[in-house]
């Protein structure tokens, strides 16, 4: 009798173990990859190197309305004029645009002259050569593709970049991407009241940000408020002017733009978003103007994620989600990209905390390389809406292929190589054939490691 009872218990245990194995094999993925120890801050040589004394530095470009781009830079010499000379041949500048400049103070710190010049009209998908202030070295800039429902466009996506060894790794990997526009989900320099770090950050990203438009939104590390003395976002607003006026917004903290086949919303997690607020009313008006027959893809970028199964920053995006999720759902937004949590996570279509075939894909990508390190603790069990999650530094690419399909991939920083760790094909909710069915998605391989050759083939589709 005792032997029969032992056999019975063993059978129960084996069945239970088999059930666990089957469930884990078919459920969502928490990557087992373990990140190497964090890298320290970038050396002072890189941050405060020879470029610190150049008359023109921290050059970056951004979109500024149809066929126009804004070139921004900082000069130490106040006599440098706010002009940009540009043309389609190296060393030959047949156009000149003028702009304006400003500066700001922050306690005992005074910035250089911050110049903003809008150039254009520009030809689509064209390389321009330009010079700032009449004295700088020559820079090279490629304009994005034209507007159109079937026009492919490639976004590189990053968040919480900071200034560490992992930051430089991320930037080196991004430089290998042939992207059209960079989307930045907030937390740029991690200056945190030490203003020279804004300057070092500008110099660090200049080799990339001067060659492609960088579209940014603010994070909590951009606030830098001193009550009664310094208003929030003083440094951020002065240094990273975005096309808010061009999109009908009243604030640099929220705006939109269009490129290729996409309408992109850049939302503010740290400015009022409740019903009746300027941001909410602007968002309503902006969504009402979206024509999905012209821009079938609708993407939102913000900082504090609405869906995250990480224990870090729990609930930081809950109030904004309660106010705006129904609005974005009604507009049939395809993807919401966030930062803030220093890990990567991708969801299935979700709404009100439940899997919904008419809901929104959420991507958290606050893993650019910041000095605070990674958020390694995830909730267990993994929520049903969470498809893939991993605590690693990296960046993402969103390649819109046509009016109906896009390819998303996330690259983990692995030593000196970007390793494709997660990818998927998306179908836009505006597609005529889409019936809000999860079956409309074609899942790619999802694994802890995929060969880069495979990634290159997929990303070209």
Cα–Cα distance for residue pair 162/172, rounded to 1 Å: 14
Sheet strands (E) in 375-435: 386-390, 394-400, 405-414, 417-427
Q: Which of 173, 221, 313, 411 is catalytic?
A: 313
60 Cβ neighbours under 8 A, 6+ residues apart:
71, 72, 73, 202, 205, 206, 209, 210, 214, 240
| Contact in structure between 338 and 362 (CB atoms under 8 Å) | yes
Structure tokens at 169: 């790794």
Residues making up the chain, counted from first to last: 461
φ and ψ at 370, to 5 degrees? -55, 160
411 is catalytic: no
Our CA angle for 425, 415, 308, nearest 5°, is: 45
Q: End-to-end distance of the chain based on CA atoms, in angstroms?
A: 64
Question: In which element (H, E) is residue 282 found?
Answer: helix 278-289
Structure tokens at 332: 């049939």
CA dihedral for 336, 341, 346, 349, sign (positive or negative): negative
Cα–Cα distance for residue pair 147/150, rounded to 1 Å: 9
Neighbour count for residue 422 (Cβ, 10 Å):
27
What are the residues facing 364 on neighbouring strands? 338, 345
- Catalytic residue annotation: 313
């Amino acid at each position: 009798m005792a032997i029969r009872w032992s056999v019975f218990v063993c059978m129960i245990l084996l069945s239970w173990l088999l059930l666990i194995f089957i469930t884990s094999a078919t459920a969502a993925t928490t990557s087992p990859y373990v990140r190497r120890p964090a890298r320290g801050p970038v050396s002072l040589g890189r941050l405060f190197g020879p470029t610190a004394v150049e008359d023109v530095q921290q050059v970056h470009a951004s979109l500024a309305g149809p066929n126009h781009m804004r070139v921004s830079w900082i000069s130490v010499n106040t006599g440098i004029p706010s002009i940009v000379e540009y043309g389609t041949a190296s060393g030959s500048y047949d156009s000149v645009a003028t702009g304006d400049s400003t500066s700001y103070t922050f306690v005992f710190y005074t910035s250089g002259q911050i110049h903003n010049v809008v150039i254009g009209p520009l030809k689509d998908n064209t390389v321009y050569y330009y010079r700032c202030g009449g004295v700088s070295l020559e820079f090279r800039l490629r304009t994005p593709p034209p507007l159109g429902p079937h026009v492919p466009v490639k976004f590189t996506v990053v968040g919480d970049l900071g200034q560490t060894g992992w930051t430089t790794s991320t930037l080196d990997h991004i430089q290998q991407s042939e992207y059209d526009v960079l989307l930045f989900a907030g937390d740029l320099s991690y200056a945190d009241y030490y203003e020279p770090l804004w300057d070092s950050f500008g110099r660090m990203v200049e080799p990339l940000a001067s060659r492609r438009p960088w579209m940014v939104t603010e994070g909590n590390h951009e606030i830098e408020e001193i009550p009664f003395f310094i208003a929030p976002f003083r440094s951020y607003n002065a240094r990273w002017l975005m096309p808010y006026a061009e999109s009908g917004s009243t604030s640099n903290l929220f705006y939109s733009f269009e490129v290729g086949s996409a309408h992109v919303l850049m939302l503010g997690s740290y400015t009022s978003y409740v019903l009746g607020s300027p941001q909410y009313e602007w968002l309503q008006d902006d969504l009402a103007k979206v024509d999905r027959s012209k821009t079938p893809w609708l993407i939102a970028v913000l900082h504090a994620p609405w869906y995250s199964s990480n224990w870090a920053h729990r609930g930081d995006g809950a109030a904004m989600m309660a106010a705006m999720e129904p609005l974005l759902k009604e507009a049939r937004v395809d993807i919401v990209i966030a930062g803030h949590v220093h890990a990567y996570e991708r969801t299935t279509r979700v709404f009100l905390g439940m899997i919904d075939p008419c809901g929104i894909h959420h991507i958290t990508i606050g893993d650019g390389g910041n000095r605070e390190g990674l958020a390694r603790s995830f909730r267990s069990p993994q929520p049903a809406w969470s498809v893939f999650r991993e605590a690693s530094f990296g960046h993402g690419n969103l390649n819109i292929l046509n009016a109906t399909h896009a390819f998303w991939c996330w690259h983990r920083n692995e030593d000196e190589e970007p390793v494709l760790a997660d990818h998927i094909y998306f179908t836009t909710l505006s597609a005529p054939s889409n019936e809000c069915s999860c079956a409309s998605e074609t899942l790619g391989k999802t694994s802890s490691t995929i060969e880069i050759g495979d990634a290159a083939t997929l990303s070209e589709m």
